Amino acid sequence: MKDFFNNNFNPRPEDGLRIVSRCPVCQREHNPAETAILDEVDGAHLIYIKCKNCNSGVVATVSLGAMGISSLGAVTDLNSKEIMEVKDWGPINEDDVVDVYRGLSHPSAENA
């Protein structure tokens, strides 16, 4: 019964914080070149960490709830300034996709 609960499919509580404590690309403990709290909404913080070792950037939300500290993060090639520029853009819609398609299909039309 103990093995059933200790298998690899059970997320460990520390997994949620791994992405902010250790670089997900080079696996080194973060000794960040840049750390920034970009935003705070209802106690949830949007943070940006840039790894000093491999220059990878991570954007993550960190929040404190009833179950403790949780985080959700992603590797990004954006810098902290670019994240601030795009964070309020909202979801991509059909018009955005068509604009990109037209721009790629007829690059000269963009400048016409």
Task: Name the residues that contact Zn ion, by CB under 5 A.
Answer: 23, 25-26, 51, 53-54, 56
Q: State which residue, 33 or 72, has the beta carbon closest to Zn ion.
A: 33
Write down the least CB distance from residue 83 to Zn ion, Å.
18
Cβ-defined contacts of 35-44 (< 8 Å, 24+)? 36/80, 38/80, 38/83, 38/84, 38/87, 39/84, 39/87
Write down the least CB distance from residue 44 to Zn ion, Å.
24
Q: State which residue, 28 or 87, has the beta carbon closest to Zn ion.
A: 28
Q: State which residue, 19 or 62, has the beta carbon closest to Zn ion.
A: 19
81 residue type, one letter: K
Lookup result for tokens 């220059």? 55
Write down the least CB distance from residue 10 to Zn ion, Å.
27
Virtual CA dihedral for 25, 31, 33, 36, nearest 10 degrees? 90
Write down the least CB distance from residue 30 to Zn ion, Å.
8
Lookup result for tokens 């400048």? 111
Q: State which residue, 34 or 85, has the beta carbon closest to Zn ion.
A: 34
